[in-house]
Structures are given as structure tokens and as C-alpha cells.
Amino acid sequence: MEINIAKHTNFLYVDDNDKSRLVMQLLMEKAMDAQFLTIFEDSADFMERVTALSPPPDVALLDINVQPHDGFEMLEMLRKNPQLNHTKIIAVTASVTNEEIEKLRDCGFDGGIGKPLRVTTFPSLINQILNGETVWHVV
Amino acid sequence: MRNILSKQTDDERIARKNILEVTYLSVAVLFALILIFEILFFADTVTLGIYAIVAEVLIGLTGLISFIFSRRGYLAVGEYLMPFGMLLVAYIILYYTGIESVNSLFFISILSIVSVTSGSRGVWLYTLITIASVIGIYYAQINGYLEIQSGVTSLSPIIPASIIAHILGNAFVLIFLIRVFNTNLFRAQENERLQIEANHDLRKLQITLEQRVADRTRALETSTDVSRRISTILDPQELVREVVDQVRNAFGYYHAQIYTYDGSGKYLIMVGGTSEAGQKLLEKGHKIEKGSGLVGQAAETNQIIFIPNVSETSGWLSNPALPDTKSELAVPISIGDEVLGVLDVQDDKVGGLTQTDADLIQSIANQVALAMQNSQSFQAAQTRATELKTVADVSTAASSVLDLNELLQTVVDLTKESFGFYFVSVFLYEPEAHMLVFEAGTGAAGQKMKTESTAFHIDATPSLIAQAGREQQPVVIQDVSQSSAHFYNPYLPDTSSEAVIPMIVKGELLGVLGVQSTESNVFNDATRQILATLAKQIGVAIQNARLFEEQLFMTEELRTLDKMKSQFLSSMSHELRTPLNAIINFVEMVSLGMVGSITEEQKELLDHSVNSSTHLLHVINDVLDISKIQAGRLTLFVEQDVDLYRELEAAIEMVVPMINQKPVQMIRDIDNNLPILAGDKRRIRQVLLNLLSNAIKFTEEGSVTVSAKHQGDHVMFAVIDTGPGIDLESQSVIFEPFVQTADGIKMEQGTGLGLSISLSLAQAHGGELWVESQPDQGAAFYFTLPIAEKS
């Protein structure tokens, strides 16, 4: 049995869709037994709220289509903060055409997982990410 | 009668003079010798005594005197002196010897001498005097006035009669001889004279002939020279300049000039003239009315007009620029009955021009006519070549320029430039409005007309544009001043002739081509034909350009539609994925018992729900993919670390649940040395999944073998089943989008897009995808991926 790294990892998830937030919450709790998940319903005062987190997030899962700052703006803000250097920034999005995924990669996301997420694959993807692999996964 | 003392120097007298002089000298010498002989040997026995000596001395003197005078040129002196001298001697002898002693031979010999010296008249004179003397002395002796010397008492009349008969007979003979001689002499002289005259005439004739041959040769040489020079000149201006210069310089005339007909055929315009006078006249555009003056007459009659002396010709018009003209020659330059012009030469001497010159100039004029014709043919050929080139250029422009406005401007500019027209324009017909609308025109006038949106209703009058469009026939006005149909355009004040040619393609009027010239009568048959061809070319070009524009518009439209479709499908995908995220996950979590236990039946139903949801997701994915493929905008999301094992396992894992209920064995035949590739992981998996799920779907029993082999520069995947197989006909269509085989349709699963998308994805990776199959013998799908140099 391998050690469940996810259990002790600090996750941040930003999504303005309540069903998606619930899916993420259930996946983390029920499928991965992750203990530390912070969820933002929007991106208002994003950096203030992120820097207020203690400890800072190890993995930031960002929806792209979020108000008032979209996923790319949030990425930029996070990248500007040196304290968050080690934070993995992963896009979690329903915009999954090749062009859109390409754009995510070009803009500096560490990976991307397309919606819909799957109970069968999501935990292993997170583990790959936590193991330092680059994951671009769309079903 | 000749003058006695006149000096005779005629040739004919020289021979006679020589004869006479010899005679005179002979007489003188003979009698001197006789005298000397008598004195030396017979002085004592001489019977004639002193009389004979005196007579002999006198005769000798007479001969000497005659000789001396003759030598000095006075021939007549001897002629008269000798007979009288001889006669004197005869008298002396008769007087002293008496008739009876007379030897008639003596008289006869004197007579002979006289005949030689004094001719027939001397003979007659001498004969008559001698006869008279004989008769006189006879009677004197009979009557006792003179004594009879011989002692005879009576003198028989037979003696004088015999002497007279001798003398007369001799005289007759001599006269006859003289006459014969004279006649012969005369004949000889006459012959000689005639011969001399004949020789003279012959000589004169020869000289004349030589002169004429020389003249003729010179003329021919010059004309040949001129011909040779002018035959190579194709520029008409250079031709006439060369001809007038050549003619003037070669023959030294005062002036030479050439006139040709103007366009109207009423006037002859000077086109070439020598020296300053010619230059001045040329600059003035000197012209002569047909029929007027020498040049006009020569042109009208097609005859040489030759005036050797202008002052003797009434009505000769002096040209102030050529004040020294004394003779003039105007020769028509013609070919058959057609007069092309006139070659006119003038000289500053009366009679300076002769018939020889006329012949000469005529022959040169003939050459000039030929050269002019050549030149005209050449010009015509050159014009035609230029025109044809224009048509070709327009065609080229038409095929290369597809923007209609640019095309028409190019065409009108090209046409104007090539043909030297004043103005060229194109009007396009708008059938709905029944209007011919100005589209393009040359120069400032064209721009103005474009700005003013010049247009003509198809029924407008007077308008050549409308007329040509209405009648669908070319309209030509050779001289606008003679036509009421011409519509005066203030922007084009110099138009003299105009032609409008309709542009008709497949019976449909597209517009008209209008051309205008500053010269009248320019639209000959050849030009019209070229313009008609040009109009047709432009028409086709317009249609091409329109079709191209239409196509461009359509393509743009389609592209926009395509983009919209893709965008729509994109956002559709996005909008469906968010609710599917909730549906699939909530249902699956329940199904997996993550939120509380459920019954098997409930789980089964929830799994169906999950499968249907994922199917829906795949349908959306496929539709999105195919729309991109059809728009040619399929892109790959390439990563450098494609682990083929992982993708294979993932694909197999996803299809294994499909076999579970069927007696089908999944066989793996996968090399353990597969390389890491560059590629789109999701797409490679998608192709493998598609091939595997198809195989399992169609295989009811047996096996599905999945193989992956590293083969040189590529990896080959194969999915081989033991299903019903695919006939050849179906093989050719299963890669078409939306196509499903009969078996596939029976399955009631899939969109029919899978293989088409897979093929495109394989090709997008630079690989291949194909099928090998026979009915009832299963099917084998092969999929290759190239291995990039370093993965």
C-alpha cells in the first residue's frame, strides 16, 4: 500500500458552480480522504484570501470561467507571489478543446484536468501531480 | 565661172592643181630641152629658123608662168594662159610655114595639153579659134595675102579640111574623154562626199547613242542605288526623306519633294522636301488640293507632268519658298491605278530637266511606290502585331487580376496605350436597373466620370453606349462631326471618332467597351476585329472576376458559418460538460456506494445512467472533432512523453467491461521495447479505444487481439478480431464520416464518426490507419505512429 499523500496535502479549489464544488468536495473526502481542502466560491479579493491561508496551498485547482478574476488572472497573481513558488497550479475546466488546453499550458499552468471529473481516474491524476508528473487529462 | 584670182583651197582642187602644175612644168622643161637641143645640134640646118625658136621659147615661158602662178594658188591663170599661149604658137607657125606645111599632130598635141589645163570649155574655144585660123590662113594664102612656102601654086582645100577634121575629131574625143573623166570624177567626189556625210551622221549618231547609253546607265545606276537604299527603309518618314535627298543629290536638282494623300483623299500633304525650303514647307504642313498645280494634276491624272520652261507655261504657280525654279517635273507615285503620292523635282535652269530626267524620275517613283507599299504593309503588320499583343496582354491581365475594378482599369489603360486611342472606357450593365454604369476609364476624364457615377439607361438616346448595349452590335462613328448620334462629352473635347463594342458572354450583355480617337476614320476592318476580340476577352475576364468574387464571398460565408458551427459546438461542449460533471459523478458515487449502500439492481441502473452520460459526452466530442476535421482545423495537443503502455492499458481497461458477458478473449501481443513518443496522448488513446471498442462490439465469440510492434521508424498497432469481417465495398466507405455498415447500424450504437475521426487523428500524427478484412474472416485494423527522432 502506498502512502496517501493527498491526505495531508493542502488543496485550494476555486469554482463558482455549486454542483462542481460539491463534486470536488465529495471526491476529496470520499474518494481520496483528503483532509485539507479550501474552497472559494469566487475570485474576489483572491490573493488576500489566498495569502490569509495558513499553511499556503500545495495544489491550487482553478476553474477558468470564474468571476471577477478568471483562471488566467488567478494564475498570474499566484505566480507573482514568491511564497507560492512550490504551489502546483492546475486548471479544472469544462473548456477542453485542444486550443484551450494549449493556451493553459502556454500560460503556465502546471497541468489541467477536464470536466467531467471521474471518480475512477481523479485520485490517480492527483497522485501523479503530487508525484511531480505533468498531467493534461481530458475525457 | 570661178573667180580667176580667188584662192582655191578646196580639197577637190588639190589633185587637179598637182596635175596642172606637173603639166605646166613639163611643157616648160620640154620646150627648154627642145630649144637647147636645136641650138646645139641643128642650129645651122634648122628650117623653121627664128620663128620656131621664138614659138618654143614662148611656150616654155607660158608653162613656167602658169606653174609659178599655180604654185602661188592662182590656178585660173594657167588655165587661160596655156590655151592662149598654145594658140599664139600655132598662129606663129601657121603664119610662117603656111597651111601646107602644118602638121595637124602639132595642133592635136596642143589641144591635148589645153584639154588637161582648161577642160572642155578650153578645148572648144581652142578648137574653134584654130579652125577659124586654119580657114583664115587658107584664104589668105589663096588670095595671095600670104605666100605659099612650099612652092605649090594652088592649095587644095583638102589640106585645111583635113586639118580641121583632125582637130575636130580630136576635140570630140577629148571632150568625150573629159566628160567621162569629169563624170567619173564627180561621181567619185559625190560618193566621197556622201560617204563623208554618212560618216559624219554615223559619228553623230554614235555620239548621241553613247550619250544616251551613258545617261541611261547613270539613270539606272542612280535609280538602282536609290531603290536599293529605299527598299530597306520601313519607316515612311525616313523613306521620303531619303528619297528626296537621294534624288536631289544624285542628279543635282534644285529641289525635290514628295506629297502623299491625306486621310480624306482630297489633299496632298507634303511629307518630304529637300533643303531649308522643304523644311519650312514641311513645318507649315504644306498641302495641295487634288487637281491643282503640277503636283495636284499629276496625282489626279496619274500622268507625268513635265514643264521644261516654267515661264512659257501659263498658269504655272510659283512657290515663294522656291524662287529659282525654271523647270519642273511632277511624277505620280502609283501602283497600277492607285496613286499614292507625287514625286516632284525642280531645277533652276530652263531645260534643266529633260525627257531623260522624266524617265529617270518615273523609274524612281515606281520604286518609291513599291517601297511605300512595303512600308505600309510593314506598318500594318506592325500595328496588327501590337494590337494582337494587346489582346494577349489583356488576356494575361484578365487571368491574373481577379479584382474587377483593378482588372478593368488595367484593361482600359493597356488598350489606350497600345492602340494610341484618345479615351477608352468600360461600362457594365446592371440588368435590374437597366443601366449601363461607367466602371473604368483612362486618364482624368475617366476619374471624373467615375466620381460622377456616369451611367446611361439602356433606352437612352442619343447615346452610343446605350445603342451598342441595346442592339448588342458594335456602333462605329468614323467622324463625329458628321453624326448626330454622337453624345458630346465636355471632358473629351477632341474626340473625332468613336466606337462602342458590346461585351457579350453566352448571350448575356455584360457591358460595353468604348474607344475614342482624336483622328477620324481610324476604325478600319482590322481594328474593329481586334476590338471585337478584345471586348470578348474583357467580357470573359469580367465574368471570371465576378465568379471569383462570388466564390470568394461564398468561401468567406462558408468559413464564417464553419467558424460559427465550431464555436457553437465548442461552447455546447463546455455547457454540457459542467452539468455532466455533476450528473456522472453524483450517480457514479452513489453507484460505487460512496454515499451509502445500494442494492445490485439500483447499482445496475445507475451504471446504465453513467454509461449513457459518458456516451453522450463521446457523441459531443465526436461531433466537435468532425466539425474541426471538415473545417481543416484539427489540431493536436502534443506532449513529448507519450507512454504507449499507459495509453494501451487505459484503452484496454475501458473496453474490458464490454467483453465480460461475451465468449471473447482479449489477447495482448505487445512488444516490451516500445519507445516513448511525441504525440497527443488523449488522441492516441482515442484511436486505440475506437478500434478496440469496434472490435469487441462486432465480435460475438472468439478473440480480440491487440498488438503493438516497434517496426523501424514507426510503431504499428493492430486490432484483430474474429468477427463477421467487412466486405470490400464497405471497406471503402467505413472511413467516411457518418457512414456505418449494415452491421454497425444494427448495433444501434455509435455515431458513425469514430473511424473517420481516427483516420484523421492517425494522419494528423503523420501515421496511417487501414483495414484488412474479408467477410466471415474477421477484420484487422492497423494503425501506425511515426517515431520522432528523439523522444
Radius of gyration in angstroms for the set of CA atoms belonging to chain A, rounded to a whole number:
14
Contact B637 A98 (CB under 8 A): yes
Tell me if chain B has a CB within 8 Å of the CB of A97. Answer: yes
- The model's pLDDT over A28-42, given as tens digits with 9 standing for 90+, comes to 999 998 989 999 999
Q: Rounded to whole angstroms, how far apart are CA atoms B251 and B253?
A: 6
* CA-based nearest distance A126→chain B, Å: 16
Q: Categorize the per-residue pLDDT at B791 as very low, low, confident or very high, splitting at 50, 70 and 90.
A: very low
- Sequence-distant (6+) residues with CB within 8 A of B235 are B375
Q: Categorize the per-residue pLDDT at B39 as very low, low, confident or very high, splitting at 50, 70 and 90.
A: confident
Nearest to B504 by CA among B464, B471, B482, B481: B471
Amino acid at site B161: A
Mean per-residue pLDDT, B404-421:
85
Q: What's residue A3's pLDDT? A: 63
Q: What's residue B745's pLDDT? A: 63
- Partners of B473 in the beta sheet? none
Residues B397 and B411 sit within 8 Å (Cβ to Cβ): yes
CATH architecture for segment(s) B238-382: 2-Layer Sandwich (3.30)
CB contact burial A113-125 (16+ within 10 A = b; e otherwise): bbbbbbbeebbeb
Could you give the 3-state DSSP secondary structure of residue B325? coil
Nearest to A130 by CA among A88, A92, A91: A88
A chain contacts of residue B680, beta-carbon cutoff 8 Å: 98
Q: What's residue B274's pLDDT? A: 86
Q: Rounded to whole angstroms, how far apart are CA atoms A112 and A125?
A: 10
Q: What's residue B719's pLDDT? A: 96
Mean per-residue pLDDT, B122-136:
80
Q: Rounded to whole angstroms, how far apart are CA atoms B469 and B607?
A: 76
DSSP state of B330: E
* CA-based nearest distance A110→chain B, Å: 13
* CA-based nearest distance A114→chain B, Å: 9
Strands (E), B88-188: none
- The model's pLDDT over B217-229, given as tens digits with 9 standing for 90+, comes to 776 777 777 777 7
* CA-based nearest distance A116→chain B, Å: 4
Q: Rounded to whole angstroms, how far apart are CA atoms B222 and B229?
A: 10
Element (H, E) at B722: none
Nearest to B670 by CA among B636, B646, B695: B646
B chain contacts of residue A117, beta-carbon cutoff 8 Å: 581, 585
Contact A118 B682 (CB under 8 A): no
Could you give the 3-state DSSP secondary structure of residue B709? strand
**Among candidates A22, A99, A138 on the partner chain, residue whose Cβ is nearest the Cβ of B682:** A138
Query: Cell 507519450 identifies what position?
Result: B642
CATH code for the part of the protein at A5-137:
3.40.50.2300
Amino acid at site B410: T
- The model's pLDDT over A59-86, given as tens digits with 9 standing for 90+, comes to 999 999 999 999 999 999 999 999 998 9
Give residue limits of the domains in chain B.
Answer: 11-194, 238-382, 635-786
B276, burial (CB in 10 Å: exposed 0-12, middle 13-18, buried 19+) = exposed
Q: Evaluate if residue B760 carries a pLDDT over 90.
A: yes
Residues B427 and B437 sit within 8 Å (Cβ to Cβ): yes
**Among candidates A94, A136, A139 on the partner chain, residue whose Cβ is nearest the Cβ of B578:** A94
Q: What's residue B152's pLDDT? A: 60
A125, B155, B178, B321, B613 from B332: Cα distances, Å? 110, 103, 70, 22, 106
**B108 or B753: which carries more pLDDT confidence?**
B753
Tell me if chain B has a CB within 8 Å of the CB of A127. Answer: no
Q: Rounded to whole angstroms, how far apart are CA atoms A89 and A56?
A: 12
Q: Backbone phi, then psi, for A66, in 5-degree steps? A: -125, 145
The grid coordinates of residue B778 equal 474477421
Which sign, positive or negative, has the C-alpha torsion B80, B83, B86, B90? negative
Mean per-residue pLDDT, B135-145:
79
Contact A119 B573 (CB under 8 A): no
Q: Evaluate if residue B305 carries a pLDDT over 80.
A: yes
Q: What's residue A74's pLDDT? A: 96
Tell me if chain B has a CB within 8 Å of the CB of A104. Answer: no
The stretches of B336-426 forming alpha helices (DSSP H) are 355-400, 404-419
Contact A20 B578 (CB under 8 A): yes
- Sequence-distant (6+) residues with CB within 8 A of B297 are B291, B303, B305, B330
**Among candidates A23, A99, A136 on the partner chain, residue whose Cβ is nearest the Cβ of B581:** A23
* CA-based nearest distance A117→chain B, Å: 6
Could you give the 3-state DSSP secondary structure of residue B773? strand
Query: Cell 525642280 identifies what position?
Result: B346
Residues B448 and B481 sit within 8 Å (Cβ to Cβ): no
Nearest to B333 by CA among B376, B379, B295, B289: B295
Using CA coordinates, name the residue in chain A closest to B641: A134
Q: Categorize the per-residue pLDDT at B630 as very low, low, confident or very high, splitting at 50, 70 and 90.
A: confident
Q: What's residue A1's pLDDT? A: 43
**Among candidates B575, B584, B680 on the partner chain, residue whose Cβ is nearest the Cβ of A116:** B584
- Sequence-distant (6+) residues with CB within 8 A of B648 are B670, B688, B706, B708
Contact A98 B635 (CB under 8 A): yes
Contact A95 B574 (CB under 8 A): yes
Give residue limits of the domains in chain A.
Answer: 5-137
Using CA coordinates, name the residue in chain A closest to B640: A134
Contact B589 A97 (CB under 8 A): no
Q: Evaluate if residue B390 carries a pLDDT over 50.
A: yes
Q: Evaluate if residue A13 carries a pLDDT over 80.
A: yes
- The model's pLDDT over B49-93, given as tens digits with 9 standing for 90+, comes to 666 677 778 778 888 888 888 888 777 777 777 777 777 777 777
* CA-based nearest distance A16→chain B, Å: 11
Amino acid at site B139: Y
**Among candidates A117, A134, A136 on the partner chain, residue whose Cβ is nearest the Cβ of B637:** A136
Q: What's residue B534's pLDDT? A: 84
Q: Testing the interface with A: which of B614, B624, B637, B653 to mutate, by most A Cβ within 10 A?
A: B637
Q: CB atoms < 10 A from the CB of B340, how many?
A: 20
* CA-based nearest distance B706→chain A, Å: 22
Q: Is B748 left (phi over 0), alpha (psi -120 to 50) or beta?
A: left
Q: Evaluate if residue B454 carries a pLDDT over 70.
A: yes
Q: Categorize the per-residue pLDDT at B591 as very low, low, confident or very high, splitting at 50, 70 and 90.
A: very high
Q: What's residue B8's pLDDT? A: 43
B422, burial (CB in 10 Å: exposed 0-12, middle 13-18, buried 19+) = buried
Q: Categorize the per-residue pLDDT at B153 as very low, low, confident or very high, splitting at 50, 70 and 90.
A: low
Q: Evaluate if residue B427 carries a pLDDT over 50.
A: yes
CATH code for the part of the protein at B635-786:
3.30.565.10
Q: What's residue B425's pLDDT? A: 93
Using CA coordinates, name the residue in chain A closest to B595: A30
Residues B441 and B450 sit within 8 Å (Cβ to Cβ): yes
The grid coordinates of residue B171 equal 576635140
**Among candidates B577, B637, B641 on the partner chain, residue whose Cβ is nearest the Cβ of A115:** B577
A chain contacts of residue B588, beta-carbon cutoff 8 Å: 118-120
- The model's pLDDT over B692-702, given as tens digits with 9 standing for 90+, comes to 999 998 899 99
The count of C-alpha atoms lying within 13 angstroms of the C-alpha of B528, restricted to the half-sphere facing its C-beta, is 15
Contact B594 A119 (CB under 8 A): yes
Nearest to B215 by CA among B331, B330, B344, B359: B359
Q: Identify residues of B whose CB sits under 8 angstroms from chain A CBs.
A: 570, 573-575, 577-586, 588-589, 592, 594-595, 613-614, 617, 624, 635-637, 639, 641, 680-682
Q: Evaluate if residue B586 carries a pLDDT over 90.
A: yes
**A28 or A4: which carries more pLDDT confidence?**
A28
DSSP state of A30: I
Q: Categorize the per-residue pLDDT at B772 as very low, low, confident or very high, splitting at 50, 70 and 90.
A: very high
Using CA coordinates, name the residue in chain B closest to A94: B574
Amino acid at site B282: L
Give chain A's count of helices (H) and strands (E).
Answer: 5, 6
**Among candidates A23, A95, A137 on the partner chain, residue whose Cβ is nearest the Cβ of B585:** A23
Tell me if chain B has a CB within 8 Å of the CB of A139. Answer: yes
Query: Cell 473635347 identifies what position?
Result: B493
* CA-based nearest distance A5→chain B, Å: 20
A chain contacts of residue B595, beta-carbon cutoff 8 Å: 26, 30
**Among candidates A26, A97, A116 on the partner chain, residue whose Cβ is nearest the Cβ of B570:** A97
**B400 or B433: which carries more pLDDT confidence?**
B433
Share of chain B above pLDDT 90, in %: 23
* CA-based nearest distance A122→chain B, Å: 11
Q: Evaluate if residue A21 carries a pLDDT over 80.
A: yes
Q: What's residue B337's pLDDT? A: 84
- Sequence-distant (6+) residues with CB within 8 A of B271 are B236, B237, B240, B258, B259, B260, B282, B341
**Among candidates B570, B585, B613 on the partner chain, residue whose Cβ is nearest the Cβ of A119:** B585
A70, burial (CB in 10 Å: exposed 0-12, middle 13-18, buried 19+) = middle
Q: What's residue B48's pLDDT? A: 53
Region of poorest pLDDT, from B173-187, B337-351, B415-429, B606-620: B173-187
Using CA coordinates, name the residue in chain A closest to B576: A94
Region of poorest pLDDT, from B90-94, B438-442, B451-455: B90-94
Peptide bond into A68 cis (omega under 30): yes
Share of chain B above pLDDT 70, in %: 90
Q: Categorize the per-residue pLDDT at B9 as very low, low, confident or very high, splitting at 50, 70 and 90.
A: very low
Q: In sequence order, what DSSP letters do the residues of B208-250 get, joined into one string?
A: HHHHHHHHHHHHHHHHHHHHHHHHT--SHHHHHHHHHHHHHHH
Mean per-residue pLDDT, A89-118:
94
Contact B578 A26 (CB under 8 A): no
- The model's pLDDT over B250-302, given as tens digits with 9 standing for 90+, comes to 778 888 888 888 777 788 888 888 878 888 888 888 888 888 888 888 888 88
Residues A134 and A125 sit within 8 Å (Cβ to Cβ): no
DSSP state of B453: T
Q: Categorize the per-residue pLDDT at B538 as very low, low, confident or very high, splitting at 50, 70 and 90.
A: confident
B chain contacts of residue A139, beta-carbon cutoff 8 Å: 614, 617
Tell me if chain B has a CB within 8 Å of the CB of A85. Answer: no
Contact B592 A119 (CB under 8 A): yes
**Among candidates B574, B588, B680 on the partner chain, residue whose Cβ is nearest the Cβ of A94:** B574
Q: What's residue B163's pLDDT? A: 79
Region of poorest pLDDT, from A119-128, B169-178, B254-263: B169-178
Tell me if chain B has a CB within 8 Å of the CB of A33. Answer: no
Angle between helices B754-764 and B600-630 (to 10 degrees): 60
Q: Evaluate if residue B776 carries a pLDDT over 60.
A: yes
Residues B102 and B138 sit within 8 Å (Cβ to Cβ): no
Could you give the 3-state DSSP secondary structure of residue B766? coil
Q: Evaluate if residue B744 carries a pLDDT over 70.
A: no
Question: In the predicted model, what is the mean pLDDT of chain B?
Answer: 83
Q: Rounded to whole angstroms, how far apart are CA atoms B403 and B538?
A: 13
Q: Rounded to whole angstroms, how far apart are CA atoms A111 and A89?
A: 7
Q: Rounded to whole angstroms, how far apart are CA atoms B100 and B118?
A: 29
**Among candidates A114, A118, A137 on the partner chain, residue whose Cβ is nearest the Cβ of B584:** A118
Q: Testing the interface with A: which of B576, B581, B621 to mutate, by most A Cβ within 10 A?
A: B581
Q: CB atoms < 10 A from the CB of B106, how many?
A: 15
Contact B581 A117 (CB under 8 A): yes
Residues B93 and B87 sit within 8 Å (Cβ to Cβ): no
Share of chain A above pLDDT 90, in %: 78
Contact A136 B681 (CB under 8 A): yes
Mean per-residue pLDDT, B595-602:
92
A125, B282, B645, B678, B709 from B684: Cα distances, Å? 18, 91, 11, 11, 15
